[in-house]
Structure 1
Amino acid sequence: MNKIEKKQLKSVFWRSFALQGAFNYERMQNVGYMYAMLPVIKKLYRNKEDQAAAITRHLEIFNTTPAVVPTIMGISAAMEEENANNPAFDVQSINAVKASLMGPLAGIGDSIFWGTVRIIAAGIGVSIAKDGNLFGPLLFLVLYNLPNILVRIFGLKLGYQVGVNSLDRIQKEGLMDKIMAVATIVGLCVVGGMVATMLNITTPLKWNISGAEIVVQDILDQILPKMLPLAFTFGIYKLLKKASITKITIGIIIFGIAVHLIGIL
């Protein structure tokens, strides 16, 4: 039986600090996530084919608050361990669970670390530093990073332990199909939220008919808010089945410039 040891979990912890090192706007933190999972992958899978499959699996889009990522990594490690030892395990559930957790944990993590801890730590540090005390910046770094590091340490341990214990129960009671269904729904909600908040596509088209101004964007918003970003997303999704990312990206740039010059968008 292939079993993850403390050595691999420690490596995952330290590597998690490089999460943002290869951030990109196509799949965001995916490379950093895969890099952190490499010690686990190499420990669990002996042949190159299985290792390559696991690496590819963790290169899917991923984005959440860095401090809470080790918690998800711990769960991923437990699921990879189960996959390595159980031929009947549904490998697709690994990414499904990741996708279902990154949204809710991002909301919690951003609120705690970006919205609360950072502001409190900065306030205390600035109040000391404004008098010329060099201890101010140092205190800010300590107050902000100490809870960050503690959450990473205990989150990784908790994620792995919960993952191991839960998977035993899930396999015995046949709950994986239900979890997959819930994870898929949550994942789709996350994608929908990303489309609504990260894509801003509007049209400036308007006409003046008999003294009344008709604004096309207002009409579209009344029918369905964010209709253009949604239509754009569905269009790109359809193109992904027919063309490469590079071609689609170039096409988006050309299309964007063209419709802007014409005055449609």
Structure 2
Amino acid sequence: MMKESSPASPREDTLVMAYLRSFMRCYMAGAGFNTRGMQNIGLVYAMQPGLSAIHTDPKKYRAALKRYVRHFQSHPFWMPCLVGIFLNVEKAVAAGRFPPAMLSKVKDTTAYTLSALGDSVFAGSLLIFWALLTICLLLSGQTAAPLTLGICFFIGLQVFRAYTFACGARQGFRFLERLKRWDLINWGRRIKYVNAGLLLWLWALIWPRPFDWWEWLAGTGALMLFARFVRTGLLSRVLAAAAFVAGIEVFPRFEQMIRGFLSL
């Protein structure tokens, strides 16, 4: 006669609930931001439930907390993933499979790498895509589509945070290999190309009427030229923006001069 499968042990139940609490605390990681340790207080706050479940010895628990009170900074969207990875490493430390002295080196490298990736893909691509598309839809008279878009992005972000936390907690640093295969850097570049198209759409919507195609083309060309100078470092962003705004102010007068000359 086959034995019935035994339910999960209290230890496993405690660990699951502790991981869930750590994940929920990731939403408050920025509340303790400070100029000295950056996000270190938020990181320790998120790690506390998981660490207390992994290290039952008070001495080892305090030692584990000290490993995360130093300077820490990364993109907030990656915080659940990093917390999951660190909890996986702490389980390996508790089992004697990972030396604690190595954690500080790999922790900083991983956090800074994901921070740069988050700034490029999320802040520099997806957030701008959402903002530009929402503005264009609203200026086009749409109301339901922008709201639906915002809800989908919000839900998608929560799914992303939960998925990366679960994968980080399950696979540890091995999950970074899967992230590498996602090719997020190139996807961020592709989204920026789409953003350029959305920006052209926005200009077409807000350009003064009557619409003269050659004026719009001249303005687009000037902005692309300034963007090129900024990217190559020949001109700062502030000076480029000031020059572009000054050009907008001077252009109507220059146009009147040209029209007056042609009418002679």
Q: Check whether TM > 0.5.
A: yes
Q: Which amino acid aligns with 2:117?
A: I
Per-residue CA deviation, residues 91-145 of structure 1 (Å, 9 max, x unaligned), is 1222222101011111211111111111111122222334676657644642443
Matched, 1:125 2:131: no
Identify which of 152, 155, 162 aligns with 2:171.
162
Q: In the TM superposition, what is the alpha-carbon distance from 1:78 to its structure 2 partner?
A: 0.9
Which residue of structure 2 aligns with residue 11 of structure 1? 21
Summarize the Cα distance change of 1:139–1:124 in structure 2 as closer, same or farther, 3 Å threshold.
farther
Q: In the TM superposition, what is the alpha-carbon distance from 1:16 to its structure 2 partner?
A: 0.6
Query: C-alpha separation between the residues in 2 aligned to 1:84 and 1:59?
Result: 19
Q: Which amino acid aligns with 2:49?
A: P
Which residue of structure 2 aligns with residue 27 of structure 1? 37
Which residue of structure 1 aligns with residue 156 of structure 2? 147
Which residue of structure 1 aligns with residue 120 of structure 2? 111
Where do 5+ consecutive residues of structure 2 fail to align?
1-8, 176-264
Summarize the Cα distance change of 1:165–1:141 in structure 2 as closer, same or farther, 3 Å threshold.
closer
Where do 5+ consecutive residues of structure 1 fail to align?
167-265
Q: Cα RMSD (Å) of the superposition?
A: 2.7
Matched, 1:76 2:116: no
Question: What SS does the aligned partner of 1:124 have?
Answer: helix
Q: Which amino acid aligns with 2:30?
A: Q
Q: In the TM superposition, what is the alpha-carbon distance from 1:10 to its structure 2 partner?
A: 1.7
Query: C-alpha separation between the residues in 2 aligned to 1:153 and 1:61?
Result: 25
Per-residue CA deviation, residues 147-202 of structure 1 (Å, 9 max, x unaligned), is 32222111111112222879xxxxxxxxxxxxxxxxxxxxxxxxxxxxxxxxxxxx
| Contact 1:128-1:135 at 8 Å conserved across structures | no
Q: Which amino acid aligns with 2:137?
A: I
What TM-score does the superposition give when structure 2 sets the normalisation length?
0.55
Which residue of structure 1 aligns with residue 203 of structure 2? none
Same amino acid, percent of matched pairs: 24
Summarize the Cα distance change of 1:123–1:136 in structure 2 as closer, same or farther, 3 Å threshold.
farther
Query: C-alpha separation between the residues in 1 aligned to 2:29 and 2:143?
Result: 30
Summarize the Cα distance change of 1:134–1:21 in structure 2 as closer, same or farther, 3 Å threshold.
farther
Q: Which has the higher helix share?
A: 2
* Higher gyration radius (CA): 2
Query: C-alpha separation between the residues in 2 aligned to 1:18 and 1:76?
Result: 17
What TM-score does the superposition give when structure 1 sets the normalisation length?
0.55
Per-residue CA deviation, residues 38-75 of structure 1 (Å, 9 max, x unaligned), is 11111012233222221221111111111112222111
Per-residue CA deviation, residues 217-239 of structure 1 (Å, 9 max, x unaligned), is xxxxxxxxxxxxxxxxxxxxxxx
Q: Which amino acid aligns with 1:73?
A: V
Question: What SS does the aligned partner of 1:5 have?
Answer: helix
